[in-house]
């Protein structure tokens, strides 16, 4: 018999909209991946490692070179003091790291706090681990973590919370006051935070990312997860980085060894090269993303759309109701991709309960001409459907 978590589960909204984009030859501003091939030096490093290095099983927890490079990178960029031998684990993508962490830390009946809108993998993974989801919801346009929100998120039964920062799809970078308050709640309730920090490098100035792990009381109760795919715009590589205190890291590593066991060694070698040798990328890339974000925001505003602020990630959100469009986000997105040749993501698909139904998410990690044409087609949809 099929497990009930998966028996009636539909395809993700990302698969659905990308499939429709392919079917209708539409511009895909929905699923979050860049059109660019990625930085050439890291691609060359991967190719060289494939041809000249070992293609046999690397250590389950990752190549020493990558674990050392990751620890050094986070020391430089976020001030975290990590022992690469006991606190860094390489996984096959960040989603696998999240799955490993939930399987390692959640027992049947444990309560897991989730913040809406949320990445679509969280809830089925929590349920598959036997956890009971507890939801808190952020409100646009500010999407702030407040005491009222955290009171919804925590109870005396809460064992783990999942924090996405910077937050997809809200495009928020939580500030020190918000994170400090969250740390106080975690300490007070003796809760472990699984921090999905995959967008930590895609933070255009003047915003600044700070890890929850760096706040008082959190070094021993945080599982921090990063993504080389997001760092370098190579989303198909699926190389994740998991950092935690030695006891938490060991537990997650034990779950990881029975999921994917390990990750392609040539990709690990190339990511280590990128972290060590491409330090300028971590300034140049977010600056470019900021320019692309501003370009799409201006194009959408010109087409008569109300655009919400975007502080990080590849995404910005549009308020349909404030743009004069009365239909739901899902109906609007379906009409856009089928009739007007442009795909977007309805935010309502990223809620489990009480969804916002008038916001759509657009990906700006595209060339200017693609963004301009996408905005033009969305403008045509607005004129036809408003």
For residues 72-93, average pLDDT: 98
Please report the pLDDT score of residue 1 as a whole number. 63
Q: d(Cα 211, Cα 1) in Å, to the nearest integer?
A: 42
Residue environment code for 248-267, b if the CB has 16+ CB neighbours within 10 A, otherwise e: bbebbbebbeeebebbbbbb
Torsion of Cα atoms, 199 then 237 then 17 then 9, to 10°: -90
Over 70: is that where the pLDDT of 67 sits? yes
Tell me the percentage of the chain whose pLDDT exceeds 70.
99
Please report the pLDDT score of residue 12 as a whole number. 86
> What's the pLDDT band for 13 if we cut at 50, 70, 90?
confident
Over 80: is that where the pLDDT of 276 sits? yes
Q: d(Cα 281, Cα 27) in Å, to the nearest integer?
A: 27
Q: H-helix or E-strand containing 72?
A: helix 64-78
Give the lowest-confidence range in 34-38, 71-75, 338-342: 34-38
Q: d(Cα 118, Cα 335) in Å, to the nearest integer?
A: 24
Please report the pLDDT score of residue 189 as a whole number. 97
Over 90: is that where the pLDDT of 307 sits? yes
pLDDT single digits (tens) 115-168: 999 999 999 999 999 999 999 999 999 999 999 999 999 999 999 999 999 999
Q: Give SS3 for 362.
A: strand
Handedness of CA 370, 17, 381, 360 (dihedral sign): negative
Opening angle at CA 96, ends 257 and 311, nearest 5:
145
Over 80: is that where the pLDDT of 7 sits? no
Please report the pLDDT score of residue 33 as a whole number. 83
**Residue 85 near residue 250, CB atoms below 8 Å:** no
Please report the pLDDT score of residue 210 as a whole number. 97
Please report the pLDDT score of residue 17 as a whole number. 86
Domains of the chain in sequence order: 4-31+281-385 (3.90.1150.10), 40-277 (3.40.640.10)
Contacts of 202 (CB under 8 A, 6+ apart): 166, 230, 285, 286, 289, 312, 313, 314
Over 80: is that where the pLDDT of 9 sits? no
For residues 10-39, average pLDDT: 89
Q: What is the mean pLDDT of the chain?
A: 95
Over 70: is that where the pLDDT of 248 sits? yes
Residue found under tokens 């472990």: 192
pLDDT single digits (tens) 186-245: 999 999 999 999 999 999 999 999 999 999 999 999 999 999 999 999 999 999 999 999
pLDDT single digits (tens) 362-373: 999 999 999 999
**Residue 255 near residue 104, CB atoms below 8 Å:** yes
Please report the pLDDT score of residue 359 as a whole number. 98
């Amino acid at each position: 018999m099929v497990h009930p978590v998966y028996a009636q589960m539909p395809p993700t909204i990302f698969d659905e909209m990308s499939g429709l984009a392919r079917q209708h030859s539409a511009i895909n501003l929905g699923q979050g991946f860049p059109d660019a091939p990625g930085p050439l030096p890291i691609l060359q490093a991967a190719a060289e490692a494939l041809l000249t290095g070992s293609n046999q099983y690397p250590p389950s927890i990752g190549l020493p070179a990558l674990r050392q490079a990751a620890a050094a990178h986070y020391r430089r960029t976020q001030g975290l003091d990590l022992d690469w031998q006991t606190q860094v684990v390489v996984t096959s993508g960040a989603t696998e790291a999240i799955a490993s962490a939930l399987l390692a830390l959640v027992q049947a009946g444990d309560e897991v706090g989730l913040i809406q809108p949320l990445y679509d993998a969280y809830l089925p993974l929590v349920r598959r681990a036997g956890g009971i989801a507890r939801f808190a919801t952020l409100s646009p346009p500010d999407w702030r973590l407040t005491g009222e929100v955290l009171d919804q998120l925590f109870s005396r039964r809460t064992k783990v919370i999942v924090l996405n920062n910077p937050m997809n799809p809200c495009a928020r970078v939580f500030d020190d006051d918000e994170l400090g308050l969250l740390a106080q709640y975690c300490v007070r309730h003796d809760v472990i935070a699984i921090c999905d920090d995959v967008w930590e490098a895609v933070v255009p100035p003047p915003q600044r990312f700070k890890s929850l792990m760096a706040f008082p009381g959190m070094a021993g109760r945080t599982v921090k997860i990063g993504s080389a795919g997001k760092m370098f715009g190579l989303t198909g590589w699926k190389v994740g980085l998991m950092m935690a205190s030695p006891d938490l890291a060991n537990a997650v590593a034990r779950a990881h060894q029975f999921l994917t066991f390990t990750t392609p060694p040539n990709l690990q070698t190339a990511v280590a090269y990128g972290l060590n040798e491409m330090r300028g990328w971590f300034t140049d890339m977010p600056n470019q993303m900021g320019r692309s974000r501003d370009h799409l925001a201006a194009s959408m505003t010109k087409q008569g759309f109300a655009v919400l602020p975007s502080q990080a990630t590849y995404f910005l959100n549009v308020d349909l109701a404030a743009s004069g469009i009365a239909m739901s986000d899902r109906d609007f997105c379906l009409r856009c991709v089928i009739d007007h040749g442009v795909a977007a993501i309805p935010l309502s698909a990223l809620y489990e309960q009480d969804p916002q139904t008038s916001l759509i998410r657009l990906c700006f990690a595209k060339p200017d001409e693609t963004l301009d044409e996408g905005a033009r087609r969305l403008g045509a949809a607005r004129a036809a459907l408003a």
